[in-house]
Structure 1
Amino acid sequence: MARVLDKQKAVELRLRGYSYSQIKSELKISKSTLSGWLKNYPLSEERIKELTSRNEKRIENYRKTRQRQKEEILKKIYQKEKAEIFPLSKRDLFIAGLFLYWGEGAKTKDAEVSLSNTNPAMAKFFVYWLENSLKIDRNKIKIKLHLYKDMDIRKEIDFWTKELKFSESQFTKPYIKDSNKSSITYKNGFGHGTCNITIGNAILMKRVLMGLKSIEDYFNLKYK
C-alpha cells in the first residue's frame, strides 16, 4: 500500500513540474524506480527551461532523447513483427487459441470452456477464437466479472459490454471481492477487474483438451 501511495505522490509532484532529482530528494526513492513510474509524464519544454540547475536540464533533455530513441526502435520492431505475424491463417488462429488456453484457460470442468483475464484485448481474442475457430454461437457465451468492492460496478459492466460487444443479458451477477482495488500493488494491471468468459459445451471441451494433449505429447517426445 505504501508503494502505491509513493507512486501517486511521485506522479502528483511530476505533474506540478518537479524534476527527477527533486522528486528523489522529496520522497527518497531511487531514480530507476521513478523512471519506470514517470516515463509517461515528461516535463514540457517550457518547464525544462525554467529549471535553474544546468545539470537537471541536461538530465531531463537526456531522458527525453532516450525516450524518443526507444520509441523509434520499438516502432520499427513492431512494424516488422506485425508484418511477420499477420494475416493469420485459419490454422494459425486455431493454434494460437490453443496455446492461449494452455496457459490461461480453465481445465478442471469437463463441460465448460472458460478463460479469465484482466486484459480486454486477450478477452476479445478468446471470443474471436471461439466464434471463428470453434464455430461457437456468441449468444451462448456467458460473462462473469470479478471486481473489487471499491469499484463502480455499473461502470465496469458498461466497460466490458462495450469492449466485447455483448448484451448485458449475457452477463451473470458479478463476483465482488472483499478487498479494495487500491490495495493491489502488482504491475501492468488493466484496472477493470477480471473478465471470465465461459461456454458450456462438453464436446468442445474434449476437443480443446485433446488438442492440448497432442501439443504436450509432441514436445514431450521431442525431448525424450
Structure 2
Amino acid sequence: MADQTPSSRTGGRDAGLKEAAGRLRDEGRTVNEIADRLGIAKSTAYRWVGHLPLDTSAEVAVQRRRVAAGRRATRWAERRTQREDAEREAQHRAAEWVGTLARRELLLVGAVLYWCEGTKSKPANPRYDLTFTNSDVRLVELFVRFVEATGRSRRQLRYRVAIHESADAEAAGRWWAGQLGVEFASFQRPTVKRHNPTTKRINVGADYRGCLVVRVPRSRELYVWMAGVVKGLLSGDAPTPRLLEVGETG
C-alpha cells in the first residue's frame, strides 16, 4: 500500500480536530475555549464552529464556568496573600532572633560568606589577597563588617565596580560609595563588561549597579586564618547542626 502524502496526513489531522471542535461546541464551549483546548488559532475555530449556535443552556453553563473560575482565582489570591503574610512574619521573627552579632559570630559568618563568594587560592595560582565580589549591597556590607572585626578600617580596602558598558559606571560607583560610607574618590577604575543586546539578565534597569569588587590588601595572614576557621567548621568533629523548632530561640 502506498504511503500517505504529507498533505493527506495533514488533512486527516484537521478533520479530526474539526470533529472534536464540533463536539466541544455541542458541549457549550465558546470559540476561545475550543481554540485553547485544541491548540488551534481562534480564526480556525471560528471558521469551523462559528455557524453552530450556542444554545441558551450552553451559554448559561459557560457563564457558570466563568463565575466558578473567578471564585477559584479569588480564593487562590487570598491564600497566596495569607501565605506571603505568614512568610513575612516568620522572616521578621527570625531576624529578631538573630539580633546583634557578637564579634566571634561575625567572624564565623564572615569567614563562611567569603569562602562561598570570595576568590580562593588554588595550587596552580596561589593568591592570598582577599577579593570579594557581589551585587547584593547587604552581603558586601556584611563582608566589610567582617573585615572591620579583624581590626582593619573600611577606608583601607580597595573598591572597584564591575559593570556592563550599557550602564553608568560612575553613577554606580557613587551609589556603592554612599551605601558603604566611603569616598568615591578612593574607588579604582571600573571593570566594564561588553554589553550583550540579547542578554537574559533580569537586572538591567535603572536599579542595575553592577557588582562591587572589594579587595583586602596585605591579607595573607587573614586568608590563612579564615581557611582554618572554615576547616574547623567543616571538620568531622564539629557537632551536627540541629534545626530550631517553631518558636524556639536557641
TM range (shorter): 0.5 to 0.7
Kindly state the Cα deviation for residue 56 of structure 1 after the two structures are TM-superposed.
Answer: 5.9
Matched with 2:139 is 122
Verify: 1:79 aligned to 2:92, yes or no.
Answer: yes
Which stretch shows the higher mean deviation, 80-89 or 191-200?
A: 80-89
Choose the corresponding residue for 2:229, options 187, 207, 211: 211
Provide the rounded CA distance (Å) in 1 between the counterparts of 2:183 and 2:197.
26
Provide the rounded CA distance (Å) in 2 between the counterparts of 1:80 and 1:221.
27
Matched with 1:141 is 157
Kindly state the Cα deviation for residue 105 of structure 1 after the two structures are TM-superposed.
Answer: 1.4
CA deviations over 1:6-65 (Å, ceiling 9, x no partner) = xxxxxxxxxxxxxxxxxxx8xx9xxxxxxxxxxxxxxxxxxxxxxxx5356435523431
TM-score by length of 2: 0.59
Kindly state the Cα deviation for residue 156 of structure 1 after the two structures are TM-superposed.
Answer: 1.2
> Given the superposition, is the C-alpha separation of residues 221 and 211 from structure 1 closer, same or farther in structure 2, using an over 3 Å criterion?
closer
Provide the rounded CA distance (Å) in 2 between the counterparts of 1:96 and 1:192.
25
Provide the rounded CA distance (Å) in 2 between the counterparts of 1:87 and 1:151.
36
Choose the corresponding residue for 2:82, options 51, 59, 69: 69
Matched with 2:10 is none
Aligned partner letter, 2:143: F
SS of alignment partner, residue 219 of structure 1: coil
Q: Given that residues 150 and 181 in structure 1 are in contact (C-alpha distance below 8 angstroms), is that contact kept between their aligned partners in structure 2?
A: no
Larger Rg: 2
Provide the rounded CA distance (Å) in 1 between the counterparts of 2:113 and 2:197.
26
Verify: 1:196 aligned to 2:213, yes or no.
Answer: yes
> Following superposition of structure 1 onto structure 2, how do residues 1-224 of structure 1 map, counting pairs within 5 Å?
54=67, 57-108=70-121, 110-131=127-148, 133-180=149-196, 183-185=199-201, 191-201=208-218, 202-216=220-234, 218-219=235-236
Kindly state the Cα deviation for residue 214 of structure 1 after the two structures are TM-superposed.
Answer: 3.0
Task: Say what the alpha-carbon RMSD is for the aligned residues.
Answer: 2.9
> Given the superposition, is the C-alpha separation of residues 105 and 120 from structure 1 closer, same or farther in structure 2, using an over 3 Å criterion?
same
Provide the rounded CA distance (Å) in 2 between the counterparts of 1:77 and 1:211.
30
TM-score by length of 1: 0.65
> Given the superposition, is the C-alpha separation of residues 85 and 123 from structure 1 closer, same or farther in structure 2, using an over 3 Å criterion?
same
Provide the rounded CA distance (Å) in 1 between the counterparts of 2:231 and 2:202.
32
Q: Given that residues 114 and 198 in structure 1 are in contact (C-alpha distance below 8 angstroms), is that contact kept between their aligned partners in structure 2?
A: yes
> Given the superposition, is the C-alpha separation of residues 181 and 55 from structure 1 closer, same or farther in structure 2, using an over 3 Å criterion?
farther
Q: Percent identity?
A: 18
SS of alignment partner, residue 161 of structure 2: strand
Aligned partner letter, 1:74: E
Please list every run of 5 or more consecutive structure 1 residues that lacks an aligned counterpart in the other structure.
1-24, 29-52
Q: Which structure is higher in helix share?
A: 1
Greater relative contact order (CA < 8 Å, ≥ 6 in sequence)? 1
Q: How many residues align?
A: 170
Kindly state the Cα deviation for residue 153 of structure 1 after the two structures are TM-superposed.
Answer: 1.7
Aligned partner letter, 2:231: K
Kindly state the Cα deviation for residue 124 of structure 1 after the two structures are TM-superposed.
Answer: 0.8
Kindly state the Cα deviation for residue 207 of structure 1 after the two structures are TM-superposed.
Answer: 2.0
Provide the rounded CA distance (Å) in 2 between the counterparts of 1:222 and 1:71.
34
